[in-house]
Amino acid sequence: MQFKDVIGQNSIKQRLIQAVEEDRIPHAQLFAGPQGNGKLALALAFAQYINCPNKKENDSCGQCSSCRKYTRLIHPDLHFTFPVIKTSAVSNPTSSDYMTKWRQYYTENPYPQYEKWMQLIADENKQGAIYVDEAKDLIHKLNQKSYEAEYKVSIVWLPETMNITCANKILKILEEPPEKTLFILISEAEEKLLSTIRSRCQFVRIPKISDDDLQAALAPIAESTNSNPATVARLARGNYFLALEIMQNDELRRYNFNQFTAIMRYGYGRKLQEILSWSEEMTGIGRVRQMGLLKYCGEFLRENFLLNLREPDLIFMDDQENAFSQKFSPFINEKNVLPLFREFERAYADISMNGNAKLIFTDLGLKVSKLIRL
């Protein structure tokens, strides 16, 4: 991954390049920001640039042995940590157990999404985590000498998924890393990290991709999907992954939309049997998809409230969502928008803590039937 392959983020790129040129590379950095903005791609481009022996003025050469190995994610001094799952075959999993799948997934999706990664490696009811054995494995690797590169680089994707034992164990090596060792943590919820971990990292806020940069990146693939890149860029709100979902009419996004419209209709009609059937179906889709659905519902509520307030510049909906919302948005008003949003937010929190899904979705459906008529 080279800087030229990362969409936009030019000011961040220059900041990272300058740090290398001035030999002021922090031993631990926390790249934080919203989903789909290229944090992981930036981290890889940065690591590749640091270890490239033939650096250009503003990028790695892309041709040397080090760059080629970085491109294939097989450099022996590049170490990945990411959420994994426990299985009957692997009771103490580490990222090393999933590296083949991770290389394939990242090669196809350089702007990865947690939900899609979980769909690839997990059954429907499992959530990923970074376990304590990961910390032990990483400490062992980083305490060895470098094989080829000047710096050993450890990239931790979604460190907020570390369990508390793992986080405390990694804390020590973050504080006193081996010589020529760099940590780059890639977070979408840095507030969930231990404050002691955050305090030991240089914080780098990665903003969303600008509409102009995102539009330019989407233009080459827009024709094949019959999409307008300017419209898609605006709807995606700086999220490249979401932009691709919109352009490809992603099946999961359509499913979430259909489930939102269903529960709102059932709720408004006070159709108890349909609400119970809906909650039964939601129970069967697995926790990762449940969380994705609830997150989508909260965001879509916001869009309908803004549409009701006639704030078109603040609305981000595709054609299908907009067509539905033209009739639905009047039902989302000042009286019920916050209570509804809180119910979806509460359900998300309960599901993330492994609550009983059937009870959670049944309760949510009943609350919707009460609030939608306010």
* Rounded-to-integer distance, Cα 363 and Cα 344, Å: 10
* Rounded-to-integer distance, Cα 348 and Cα 352, Å: 6
Residues 124 and 8 in one domain: yes
Q: Could you tell me the pTM of the whole model?
A: 0.77
207-216 pLDDT tens trace: 999 999 999 9
How many other C-beta atoms can be found within 10 angstroms of the C-beta atom of residue 45?
24
Q: Is the confidence at residue 124, as pLDDT, over 60?
A: no
Per residue in 1-11, is it b (16+ CB within 10 Å) or e — as a string? bbbeebbbbee
The pLDDT value given to residue 172: 86
Residues 122 and 270 in one domain: no
The pLDDT value given to residue 129: 92
Residues 222 and 131 in one domain: no
How many other C-beta atoms can be found within 10 angstroms of the C-beta atom of residue 38?
29
Segments forming the whole domain that contains residue 35: 3-205
Asked whether the beta carbons of 256 and 317 are under 8 A apart, the reply is no
Taking Cα atoms as reference points, which of 21, 41, 28, 43 lies closest to residue 203?
28
Q: Number of helices and strands (H, E) in the chain?
A: 17, 5
* Rounded-to-integer distance, Cα 74 and Cα 190, Å: 28
Residues 313 and 283 in one domain: yes
Dihedral sign of CA atoms 306, 312, 317, 322 in order: positive
- In the chain, the amino acid numbered 341 is F
Element (H, E) at 216: helix 211-222
Residues 272 and 218 in one domain: no
Q: Decide: helix, strand or coil at residue 166.
A: helix
184: DSSP letter? E
221-271 pLDDT tens trace: 877 777 788 888 888 889 998 888 888 766 778 899 999 999 999 999 999
Residues 154 and 238 in one domain: no
Residues 333 and 243 in one domain: no
Residues 126 and 83 in one domain: yes
* Rounded-to-integer distance, Cα 34 and Cα 209, Å: 10
Sheet strands (E) in 206-319: none
Beta bridge partners of 28: 183
Residues 83 and 28 in one domain: yes
Residues 294 and 231 in one domain: no
- Burial level of 221, CB count in 10 A (0-12/13-18/19+)? middle
Q: Decide: helix, strand or coil at residue 233.
A: helix
The pLDDT value given to residue 125: 64
Residues 195 and 223 in one domain: no
The pLDDT value given to residue 232: 85
Measured CA angle at 117 (ends 116, 122), to 5 deg: 105
CATH number of the structural domain spanning residue 16: 3.40.50.300
Q: Indicate the number of domains in the chain.
A: 3
374: DSSP letter? -
Higher pLDDT, 258 or 91: 258
Q: What is the DSSP string of 10-69?
A: HHHHHHHHHHHHTT---SEEEEE--TTS-HHHHHHHHHHHHH-TT--SSS--S-SHHHHH
* Rounded-to-integer distance, Cα 244 and Cα 239, Å: 9
327-340 pLDDT tens trace: 999 999 999 999 99
Asked whether the beta carbons of 80 and 99 are under 8 A apart, the reply is yes
Residues 228 and 196 in one domain: no
